[in-house]
Amino acid sequence: MTFVITRLCRDCVDGACVDVCPTDCILEHRPAQGESHLPRQLFINPANCIDCAMCAPECPWEAIFPDVDVPEAFHEDIALNALATDQPPDFHVPKERLLQHPSAEQVDANRRRWEGEGAAAKAR
pTM over 0.85: no
CB–CB of 41/27 below 8 Å? no
Residue range 12-71, pLDDT digits in tens: 878 889 999 999 999 998 887 777 888 989 999 999 999 999 999 999 999 999 999 999
Q: Check pLDDT > 50 for residue 123.
A: no
User: Distance (Å, rounded) from C-alpha 36 to C-alpha 15?
Assistant: 19
Instruction: Report the candidate in 12, 11, 8 with the shortest Cα–Cα distance to residue 99.
Output: 12
Residue-range domains of the chain with CATH: 3-123 (3.30.70.20)
Tell me the mean pLDDT in the region 83-98: 80
Q: What is the dihedral of CA 85, 89, 91, 93, to 10 degrees?
A: 110
CB–CB of 26/67 below 8 Å? no
Residue 115: helix, strand or coil by DSSP?
helix
Q: What is the dihedral of CA 58, 61, 66, 68, to 10 degrees?
A: 170
Q: What is the DSSP letter of 4?
A: E
Predicted confidence band of residue 98 (pLDDT cuts 50, 70, 90): low
Residue 112: helix, strand or coil by DSSP?
helix
